[in-house]
Amino acid sequence: MNATDAEPSAAAAPSRTLTVTIIPGDGIGPELTRSAVRVMDAACAMTGLDLDVTEERAGAGVYRETGAALLPGALDRLRAGDGVLKGPVGLPEVRRPDGTEGGLLGGLLRNGLDTFANVRPVRLLPGVRAATTAGAGSIDYVIVRENTEGLYLSRGAGVRTHHAAADQMLITRAGTERVVRFAFEQALRRSGAPRDGVRRVTCVDKSNVLRSFALFREVFDEVAAEHPDVEADHYYADAAAHALVTEPDRFDVLVMENFLGDVLSDLGAGTVGGLGMCPSGNIGTDAAYFEPIHGSAPLIAGRNLANPTSQILSAAMLLRHCGQAEAARLVESAVEGAFAEGHITILPTGSPAAGTEAVTDVVLEHLASAARARGGTPDMPTTEPTTERKRR
């Protein structure tokens, strides 16, 4: 965007550039990331930011070609920019010799970049039809999933014979402490549970059965004691699954082991309109990347059937993480406005009735009218991407 057609405050600010690396991924990944980049580009333009997009190929397609899911030097390139937006990866036919999927990036990126906190907001937006009796606004919690250890540390490293297989769960004091601290910090930035406005962090575990989970809870309680201003709460994982369906409004922030977080975040998505509604951030000390919580759905790839909302909301999380709270808020408001109007119908299959492109266009139209309301650029992009000019 050039400074002369910016709104007055943006015109006065020096031009800034946000460098974002896109991992298009497999299946529906490329079409989703394209949608999200169009939206990000528009929101950045409104806040006087230049969006500079580079692509990093990774995932199952790359694994099939090269035998590795990441190209050499990828982790350094991903660390170098301001932010990383990743599409879903994986192709069911791409398998390792042991039968597990080849080309998944979870272990490589989460452990490789040490992004120890997987932040998964679950929100029921107005205008979204969901499989719950809860009303919009009454589901608004964040699952903080430990992202570098737990059961998934055994990814690709379990023991297997013809007759038996074993994967181990690793819980460390240090790994638990850092993610629990992160969860309490999240709670301090939020305004509490929808039911009562109480800031609350819920520890989810099976400490009644397994020693590993007992250690997780012990560390949780130690960190909780340092936060008298936030209510500390405990649920066994099975009871948590029940409560997330029957009384989701009591939850604010939940923290849990990797595998539990994987499962319960999909459960949460099921209560707010499906996986296509749920973004996530993988956050570490010196790296972060943002992605939908769902898979690459190769069966519907390229058919304009995927819901781009999770990818677009992941882009908003990225913007906020990069210090661009205003751009993030613009994207979130545009998504909320688009659904609140009632013009977006998500079918029981999870697909938007009008298609991927149509949802993206409605979100862009909401951004454009926000720009007009701010007295800014009347010729804001609506349906035409402006980002293509920056793609390299």
**Residues that bind ligand IPM in the complex, under the rule CB under 6 A:** 90, 104, 106, 262, 293, 295
Active site residue 206: yes
Pairwise CA distance, residues 139 & 125, whole Å = 9
Say which of 50, 114, 167, 266 is annotated catalytic.
266
Strand order in the sheet with 200-205: 49-55, 16-23, 83-86, 288-292, 279-283, 117-123, 140-146, 253-256, 200-205, 231-236
**Contact (Cβ atoms closer than 8 angstroms) between residue 228 and residue 258:** no
Looking at 141, 152, 235, 289, which residue is catalytic? 152
Report the partner that residue 380 touches, choosing among Mn ion, ligand IPM, none (CB closer than 5 to 8 A by kind): none
Contact partner at residue 150 from Mn ion, ligand IPM, none, CB < 5 to 8 Å by partner kind: none
Closest CB to Mn ion among 236 and 259? 259
Q: Which amino acid is at 171?
A: I
Minimum CB–partner distance for residue 28 and ligand IPM (Å): 13
Q: Of the listed pieces 32-40, 212-220, 234-242, 261-269, which binds Mn ion according to CB under 5 A?
A: 261-269
Q: Of 75 and 214, which has the nearer Cβ to ligand IPM?
A: 75
Q: Based on the residue annotation, tell me whether 262 is a catalytic residue of this protein.
A: yes
CA atoms within 13 A on the CB side of 291: 28
Using CB under 5 A as the binding rule, whether residue 146 contacts Mn ion is answered as no
In the complex, least distance from residue 190 CB atom to ligand IPM, rounded to whole angstroms: 22
Min separation Cβ 291 and Mn ion, Å:
10
Is residue 141 flagged as an active site residue? no
Which residue pairs from 334-339 have beta carbons closer than 8 angstroms and sit at least 24 positions apart in sequence?
334/39, 334/43, 334/363, 334/364, 334/366, 334/367, 334/370, 335/125, 335/309, 335/363, 335/366, 336/125, 336/126, 337/366, 338/362, 338/363, 338/365, 338/366, 339/125, 339/126, 339/127, 339/128
Least distance between ligand IPM and beta carbon 211 (Å): 24
Nearer to Mn ion, 83 or 106 (CB): 106
- Cβ 295 to ligand IPM shortest distance, Å: 6
Helices (H), the chain: 8-12, 29-46, 60-66, 74-80, 106-112, 173-189, 211-225, 237-246, 258-270, 309-321, 325-340, 356-373
Among 82, 262, 336, 365, binds Mn ion (CB under 5 A): 262
Q: Give 82 or 262: the residue with its C-beta nearer to ligand IPM.
A: 262
106 contacts which partner out of Mn ion, ligand IPM, none, CB within 5 to 8 A by kind?
Answer: ligand IPM
Burial (CB count <10 Å: 0-12, 13-18, 19+), residue 95: middle
Binding partner of residue 104 among Mn ion, ligand IPM, none, CB cut-off 5 to 8 Å per kind: ligand IPM
- Cα–Cα distances in Å, from 15 out to 82, 88, 200? 16, 32, 40
As beta bridge partners, residue 52 has: 19
Residue nearest to ligand IPM according to CB distances in the complex: 106
Q: Which of 167, 206, 249, 390 is catalytic?
A: 206
Contacts with Mn ion: how many residues (CB under 5 A)? Answer: 1
* Backbone Cα Rg of the chain: 21
Nearer to ligand IPM, 27 or 376 (CB): 27
- Provide the CB-side half-sphere exposure for 379 (13 A, CA): 6
Q: Which one, 120 or 200, has the nearer CB to ligand IPM? A: 120
CB of 265 to Mn ion, least distance (A): 7
365 binds, among ligand IPM, Mn ion, none (CB under 5 to 8 A by kind): none
Which residues are tagged catalytic?
Answer: 152, 206, 238, 262, 266
Per CB under 5 A, residues contacting Mn ion are: 262
